[in-house]
Amino acid sequence: MAPIKDIIFLLLTGGLAAFLCWYFYQRYNLNKALHNIYYLMGFAVLLVSGLLLIFLGLGILSSPYVLTVASLIPLGISMGIAEEYYPAWKKYFKWFALAGFLAIAASSIGGMMTIKRIAVPLFHGVAGFVLFLGPFFAKGSPKGFFWVGIGGLLISLGGVALAFISVGKQLLFFSPDFVMLILTPLLFLMAGAFALGFAKKG
């Protein structure tokens, strides 16, 4: 089981993720818009991942299966942003996201380290780019939606750092020990920023 500090942050993160799952489920029932399903997928995976980290500890992050499933968090949220606000290129981004997810799954589970070293940072980098900048330039988005971009920046920092560690490298000062120290507070701040930004949608 995770240390008490991590458990507290993971419980808080899980509460926010559960709220966002409920929120997007309600919104989908109102208008059946596909982007709500993508958002719901991302936050449902965040909720499940947080529960697994509580009961099994942060050591499960080294599992190739966990790395693969956790990729659905930035995948779902970034696809939701593309679907809702960037119709001109959402189709191309969906194909990129699918190819990236399959590459991560195959290389992680199959132990193909050369492909993994390319696929993991590339996918997380591009998805993080959409998550970070997409909300700032989204036309017709509600005031305060920029908080989703802040959440995207936070998840990008953690995701890319974990991605480099998973392939045996270090990103800047993000050593394995430092990443493990800040991971759960970072997840909480990320979920809080997402909740602030998406709640502006009313």
Q: What is the pLDDT of residues 123-154, one digit of tens each?
A: 877 888 899 999 999 988 888 899 999 998 88
Q: Is the pLDDT reported for residue 159 higher than 70?
A: no
Q: How many Cβ atoms are within 10 Å of 18's Cβ, its own excluded?
A: 15
d(CA 163, CA 152): 16
Q: Is the pLDDT reported for residue 3 higher than 90?
A: no
Q: What is the pTM of this model?
A: 0.87
| pLDDT digit string, tens, across residues 17-35 | 999 999 999 999 998 999 9
Q: How many Cβ atoms are within 10 Å of 201's Cβ, its own excluded?
A: 16
d(CA 70, CA 171): 19
Q: List Cα–Cα distances, 58 to 7, 62, 182, in angstroms.
A: 10, 8, 12
Based on C-alpha coordinates, what's the Rg of the chain? 16
Query: Binning pLDDT at 50, 70 and 90, where does residue 173 land?
Result: low
Query: Binning pLDDT at 50, 70 and 90, where does residue 160 land?
Result: low
Higher-confidence residue of 177 and 170: namely 177
| pLDDT digit string, tens, across residues 51-106 | 888 888 777 767 778 778 888 888 899 999 999 999 898 889 889 888 888 888 88
Q: Do the beta carbons of residue 97 and residue 78 sit within 8 Å? A: yes
Is 41 strand, coil or helix?
A: helix
pLDDT at 9: 92
Q: Do the beta carbons of residue 64 and residue 116 sit within 8 Å? A: no
SS3 content of the chain, % helix, strand, coil (to 5): 85, 0, 15
Q: Do the beta carbons of residue 24 and residue 40 sit within 8 Å? A: yes
| pLDDT digit string, tens, across residues 38-50 | 999 999 999 998 8
Is 162 strand, coil or helix?
A: helix
Q: Where are the domains of the chain?
A: 4-199
Q: Is the pLDDT reported for residue 202 higher than 70?
A: no
- Burial label for 133, CB within 10 Å (0-12, 13-18, 19+), is middle
